[in-house]
A and B are shown apart, each in its own frame.
Chain A
Amino acid sequence: MKSKGFNAVMLACLWVVLAFMYIPIIAIIGMSFNATPYGMFPYVFTTDWYETLFTTSNLLPACWYSLKFAFAVTLAAVVIGTMTAFGLQAYAPKWANRFHFVLQLPIIIPWLVTGISLLLLFSFLGSGRSVLSMFLGNLIVVLPYVVLLVNGRFLSMDRTPEAAARLLGARPARVFFDITLPAIAPGVLAGGIMAMIMCFNNFVVQYYLIPIGVQTLPTLVFTRIRSGYQADLNALSAIIVLVSVVVVILLSKLGFSAGGLFGMSSGTQSKKGE
């Protein structure tokens, strides 16, 4: 190991970075209990914003809609993504590389351009802005992440049990569900969580494809900021942060490794290295 001093400096850097990341979050929580709507001062404690949130606010329906929407996109992305990663294993390396190139396009292209080009496509086709457009737009944005995460799992797993099962006469479906799927499950879950988070917070693609009359949480926040910011937004964020903390604690208590969750580069890179 390198020297203690060096490690201490690195650790200090980590804490500075974490402080930088968490100050705004703490500020949001602080502001959610502050009666002064613009800025921090004077700080007057109140729980009114929470009351507004749970009574008159239109945030909760939009939040609920976003959750349902993100869940639907995630489900589709996980099914299609897992199928793709599975099929990808049968590709010759040359074609796998080509496939990866196309697959990475939605990651590489700025969301702004993705949103605009899809708006052009759907306007041209006649469906224009619609829930389906928005669904497809979000699906194509998150799909590559699912494929990469599941593919990474495939590359690191031992494929001999599957071959053995096939030799012993198990039907392909049985092999897939009994052996393959359990082995890649962490990758599938990681992909699903990633897709869910990205979809829940994706403003840009939703902004260009959402039909008027439908509001997801990100677009509603944007609209609300235009018409007048209210601190019930902070109250909702504070609750979301709280729920995320609980989810994160639950996940890590149950031994979910974050390294596996977000080692998204490993899949492509090791494939490229072949």
Chain B
Amino acid sequence: MKINKRFLAAALSALMMLGLCSCGGGSDTTEDTAADPSKPYAGHTLYVANWQGYNSDADYCEKAFEDATGCAVEHVYFNSYEELMTTLMTGGNQTIDAVVLSNNYTQWFHEEGLIMNVDPALIPNYELVADVYKDLAPYAVDEEGNLFAFPWCNGTSSIAYNPDYVDFEIEHWSDLLDPRLTGHVMVLNGDGDDWVIGCLLAGEDSDDIENVDIEKVRAALMELKGQLLGFWATNDEQIMPWLAGDFWAGEIWSGPYTELINNPDTNIKLVHPEEGTVGYIDYWSIVEGTDEFDLACEWINWIESTEQQTAMATGVSEAYPGDYFTYTPINAEAINNLTDEQKVILQLDPMPTTIKLLPYIADPELKDQWTDLYQEFVS
């Protein structure tokens, strides 16, 4: 008898747990797209891989593209480029058609044969890309001149500080070593960013990382480490300690910067040091082995269009209104159309003088050395 009661109890609790979210289940029903001759891609599905919440899954981009072409766009999210690489290596290339890659990963994926060379003539809007971002070797073009990555947006991770706590002007990376900031500096926990910051501190050129004196960088990073409150890796890990008054100065991403500059409860000042600042360009590439090549080209052409780039930069879309983050565009027309206020938010006012892009180290032995340095810095 007792056992029956127990069975009953367990069955009830199992039912409750299952019932907990039944209301949320079933929401993944796919919409049937009716055949329409003006929409050549009706019935097709494009699988694109990106970070979650990074612009292309916003309505003005994804939904607008679906409405324009009749296809369905499925976003798959990854948590690291290594995860993406492992997935593509082990059969993910049979599903995923296009991927987002940062400039320090495009070459690696290309060398591993995971992304395709694409004729720029197939992407008419590539013409509109501002010259500084176009045909950028070695990030997007290999030695034989093949183009394999299409720029999408870019950004800098410069120094921000809170004048409420910092009573002097910060102008250079070396100012982060000031004893008045000890214990209140944060930087990104990421190999590329930390290498660039180390090089900037040591007066070395990260664009020529093969010839950098790694010991000088090590010494600089170890000195910086003594100043740190900690490392951040996410938007929240910047915003929370900033608002709490623990994080006074350090590297910051554009997203948290936008959030903090709009927050009346705190104060923030951005500096692009003249010796240089950390920069990145994010690209789209088409996965080798895709069965939706034409649609993937269409997608890249779409996100490089002036209309999309303007919506991305301003966060405003008339047809698909919403509360969007903003990112710095690469389309020349979109850049020219920005207002002064938008430039402040996009960290383009003041303009960065020198941008040091995240480095890619091809030589495995050298990469190990730099990885060990990064490991030492963050532990």
Contact = CB atoms under 8 A, between A and B. Distances in A.
Contacts of A86: none
Interface stretch (B16-24, B153-161, B205-213): B16-24
A243 B92 contact: no
Contacts of A212: 49, 76-78, 83-84, 87, 92, 96
A224 B22 CA distance: 22
Nearest to A257: B6
Nearest to A54: B23
A152 to B, nearest CB: 16
Contacts of B12: 250
A223 B79 contact: yes
B20 A243 contact: yes
B7 A211 contact: no
B51 to A, nearest CB: 7
A247 B17 CA distance: 8
B31 interface: no
B17 A243 contact: yes
Interface in A69-126: 71, 119, 122-123, 126
Interface stretch (A2-10, A22-30, A140-148, A225-233): A225-233
Interface string B83-99: 11011011110011000
A226 B189 CA distance: 13
B13 interface: yes
Nearest to A224: B52
Contacts of B13: 193, 247, 250-251
Contact of B8 (A60, A126, A254): A254
A129 B20 contact: no
Interface stretch (A154-162, A170-178, A184-192, A264-272): A184-192
Given A126-B90, A223-B77, A228-B255, A39 B240 contact: yes
Interface of A: 38-39, 54, 59-61, 63-64, 67, 71, 119, 122-123, 126-129, 182, 185-186, 189, 192-193, 196, 207, 211-213, 215, 219, 222-229, 239-240, 243, 246-247, 250-251, 253-256
Interface of B: 2-3, 5-10, 12-14, 16-18, 20-25, 27-28, 47, 49, 51-54, 74, 76-79, 83-84, 86-87, 89-92, 95-96, 233-236, 239-240, 243-244, 255
